[in-house]
Structure 1
Amino acid sequence: MGYYVIKKSEKDIAQPYYFQLKADNHEIIAVSEMYSSKDAAKKGIASVQKNGPTTTIKDETV
């Protein structure tokens, strides 16, 4: 099923929080943009959970 991990950059930056989406085997599937707070990262996760379930694939390599 996979799971999300909220992380904080070790660098002193304005937007240090991000999340990773990991597979059941603990491999990273995706990494988010950077967020200014942990709450903002949680909202990013909620957005992915809400908007993520799709079967549409768009190939923009052509």
Structure 2
Amino acid sequence: MTVLTVPIKSDTWIKASWEEFIQAAENPDYEKGKFYYYQDHLRIEMSPVSRDHAGDHGLVNGAL
């Protein structure tokens, strides 16, 4: 069984086994990511929205 030892770069297709895909999907570091697996490749899309952005959005909504 292969074990992931390096962080996965988001928004990029990387060669990975199904077992590596499952490991990444169960990793708490990627819990907010969207996972894709296609033809022996893995992709994780992480949301670019940060806590600061969410706070600014709430401030604008409150002002309106």
**TM-score scaled by length of structure 1:** 0.26
Higher helix share: 2
**TM-score scaled by length of structure 2:** 0.25
Higher strand share: 1
- Structure with higher Rg: it is 2
